[in-house]
Structure 1
């Protein structure tokens, strides 16, 4: 059977199900021994002679370029920006992923960061730890305009979660025409409004519509990012675009590092051109950059997928993709 190297970290932290799936099907498994995200050269050194790789967000270009034995990359997660897909196609390396398992955890984290940034929860926590007590005022989602940049699996879940908060508007920016999904969400918002009126509460109805990026930036009180990292989205949210945002607006990125230009974000926040930001993803991880100096930014550790249930599902599905590929069974093929 196959030799499988696991480069993603963490792996099987709270459950051994994924490891057992591989081992019970006869595969030899070696797990990342470094206890952190691996660098491209480290992935190559450790996985060069393996048949399959279970990967996180590590850059796999060196491995795919130099390995003569690699047959399958199985991503724990949905993003494929770290996988050189054209090179994999040329070298006949199959690529699999786990597109659905991650969505619940990432969408909930994005929503919690919107609330945190708008209501200044983390900021208040820091004040108390410094012996201060100003009781900072913030903004509510209810009655606000929330922008969603990217309306795939996660963006749609965020929108559905938001409806219960009764924002005034949800603005969607996406390359694809999302009218069918938006129609369904508007129907759901209307039904929710009818339920509220039945309870004697006239709290209004949320409207959802698709807009341009410029309109999203100018009109939103909070913007949450859910697009992949590509050549087109690299540095998409830069100083020029962030300067279009409202002074009270907050920016949330749980998608990929590199979509938001980190140096530009630092300057925007330092100049108080927007109220706050929350960043779960960075160009280089672990992050040690200048955003750590600022009080009006929330920094988390690329933990969008890190709920126990979703992480277990992602790892198990990635392992099942390996088993399915080498046994001729079911797996989620990308390339």
Structure 2
């Protein structure tokens, strides 16, 4: 029997009407039993040679994966980013790739704001000290008084810019693909943003050109005491260089929800001024449900179209 694979580490199959439609059509459902991001070999084993459709997470979908999954017709990403998918390889193997770019945007933007405020007001550190029996009079910083630099003005970046403006922050942005900025947002070069922003928030895609965008050299150019927020992709930051910049005092704080290797086990764990969350950007109940429903609906529609093309 042909099957559909759900490789994302969390997915509510029981309450998803589109998944139920797929089962009614006679397709089996196979899920990720590891509760984490799958490796390439684990994806290959889960897909086998009888999978026709896949609801994907952020696991690597490579040439090797697509070559092994001989029945695969449609990949539907539960999320917006496609950097984990070899799109050229998918095209060569006749596999349609779909995503859900709008569904997670608000949730990621709101987590960005939560991390930004937590870093500026030192909420995690204060909480820890109170639990240790202390009563610290922690003095943080107002978001309203900060100049926020948004790198990437896509769906999430634009939302973050608007939310920061609602807090009365001055907002500047850098995006090489944008020619007209949102109202009240100054478009600047990356060099100017790094040098002048008090808070830098990353909202751009990850590829070879943006790998370690914030490397040791660029972190040295950042305004001393600045705060770095990353809810986009882990590979955008050299995490070792970031830890060094935090420990030296070059940076005031950093808050990351995404990492190059997940689960994260690197040097930032020992940085007291780093706030680390476990890739929960899209995991707001309302957003997650919408994202899962859209991903499953995309998959169902994609499989129907693939069947129609096969039948001429």
**Under a length normalisation based on structure 1, what TM-score does the superposition of the two structures give?**
0.87
Counterparts of 1:177 and 1:326, CA distance in 2: 35
Match of 1:161 among 155, 163, 184: 163
Go from structure 1 to structure 2 and tell me whether the alpha carbon gap of 1:132 and 1:113 turns closer, same or farther (over 3 Å shift): same
TM alignment of 1:152-231, pairs within 5 A: 152-167=154-169, 169-179=170-180, 181-182=181-182, 185-186=183-184, 208-231=185-208
Structure 2 counterpart of 1:237: 214
Structure 2 counterpart of 1:27: 27
- The alignment partner of 2:281 has SS state of coil
* Offset, 1:302: 0.3
User: Aligned-pair RMSD on alpha carbons?
Assistant: 1.7
* Paired residues of 2:130 and 2:136 also in contact (CA < 8 A): no
1:47-68 superposed Cα distances (whole Å, 9 cap, x missing partner): 1221111111001113113221
Counterparts of 1:322 and 1:121, CA distance in 2: 41
The yes-or-no answer on 1:322 pairing with 2:305 is no
Counterparts of 2:247 and 2:173, CA distance in 1: 28
- The alignment partner of 2:251 has SS state of coil
Gaps of 5+ in 1: 187-207, 330-335
Counterparts of 2:14 and 2:143, CA distance in 1: 34
The yes-or-no answer on 1:282 pairing with 2:259 is yes
Structure 2 counterpart of 1:200: none
The yes-or-no answer on 1:7 pairing with 2:7 is yes
Go from structure 1 to structure 2 and tell me whether the alpha carbon gap of 1:296 and 1:121 turns closer, same or farther (over 3 Å shift): same
Match of 2:116 among 94, 98, 114: 114
* Paired residues of 2:225 and 2:249 also in contact (CA < 8 A): no
Counterparts of 1:95 and 1:138, CA distance in 2: 45
Counterparts of 2:290 and 2:26, CA distance in 1: 21
**Under a length normalisation based on structure 2, what TM-score does the superposition of the two structures give?**
0.93
1:133-165 superposed Cα distances (whole Å, 9 cap, x missing partner): 322211111122001000001101111111210
- The alignment partner of 1:59 has SS state of coil
Match of 2:288 among 311, 318, 330: 311
* Paired residues of 1:147 and 1:220 also in contact (CA < 8 A): yes
- The alignment partner of 1:320 has SS state of helix
* Offset, 1:21: 4.3
* Paired residues of 2:53 and 2:303 also in contact (CA < 8 A): no
Structure 2 counterpart of 1:48: 48
